[in-house]
Amino acid sequence: MKKLQQKINYKFNDSSLLKQALTHRSANKKNNERLEFLGDSILGLVISADLYNRFGHVDEGKLSRLRSQLVRGKTLAQIGISLDLSSFVILGSGELKSGGYRRESIQADAVEAIFGAIYIDSDFETVKNVVLGLYEDLLNNINPNDSLKDSKTELQEFLQKRSMSLPKYDLVSTVGKDHKAIFTVNCFLADQKIQVENKATSIKKAEQECAQMLLEKLKV
């Protein structure tokens, strides 16, 4: 844990919070889902505020697309890979055997959970500095003039250009209530006979992750 704390540039007062942030629900222990929920909101606010201050001339729509690119699962997974989170995540035996430690969604969730854990362990200003430190290169290199689309839009446009059937999103299950709820969404591409499934703390987030998985399968 000391090595990971050095990478994120934060030392926990309560190391059990970091352990919880790295614990996947499959481990049947106190897991990171609540911390992920908190970290997701913190990340959104920190990135939104930075973009607002950084690009004073950019309208709300473009700022929203910039934020979407920065907080999506794929970007979070890249940060997780840079932190070598696959070496630290705590998984149940089934998830471990299936190679879950390499799964992007698990690493992305852990990154958000770490942000939540840092906030609980310290304060907003501290976690803001950690987030901005990890996002420094991404924020410095982002261009508001680039054509930015979220994964669902990108997938839809890819299919429409090829006169293919549009994806069908279905809510498979909801586990828990209110802010603790975990939504499982299935997405099916009829023409390719491909379907994927993903879990997230919101339906929208689960749909976006499904779309990203399909884009990768289609090698877009």
CATH 3.30.160.20 for domain 151-217: yes
Q: What is the largest CA-CA distance in the chain?
A: 56
Residue 123, both tokens: 């304060």
Position 148 scores a pLDDT of 63
pTM for this structure?
Answer: 0.73
Q: Edge to edge, what strands does the sheet with 182-189 contain?
A: 168-175, 182-189, 194-200
Q: Please tell me whether residue 197 adopts helix, strand or coil conformation.
A: strand
pLDDT band at 54 (very low <50, low <70, confident <90, very high): very high
Mean pLDDT, to the nearest integer, of 60-69? Answer: 87
Q: With pLDDT > 70 as the criterion, what percentage of the chain qualifies?
A: 97
Domain at 2-141, CATH homologous superfamily = Ribonuclease III domain (1.10.1520.10)
Summarize pLDDT for 154-198 with one digit per residue, the tens. 899 899 999 999 999 999 999 888 777 889 999 999 999 999 999
Known catalytic residues?
Answer: 40, 112
Q: What backbone phi and psi angles, to 5 degrees, belong to 187?
A: -130, 130
Summarize pLDDT for 73-100 with one digit per residue, the tens. 889 999 999 999 989 999 988 877 777 6
Position 95 scores a pLDDT of 77
pLDDT band at 101 (very low <50, low <70, confident <90, very high): low
d(CA 186, CA 169): 6
- Give the start-to-end residue ranges of the domains of the chain: 2-141, 151-217
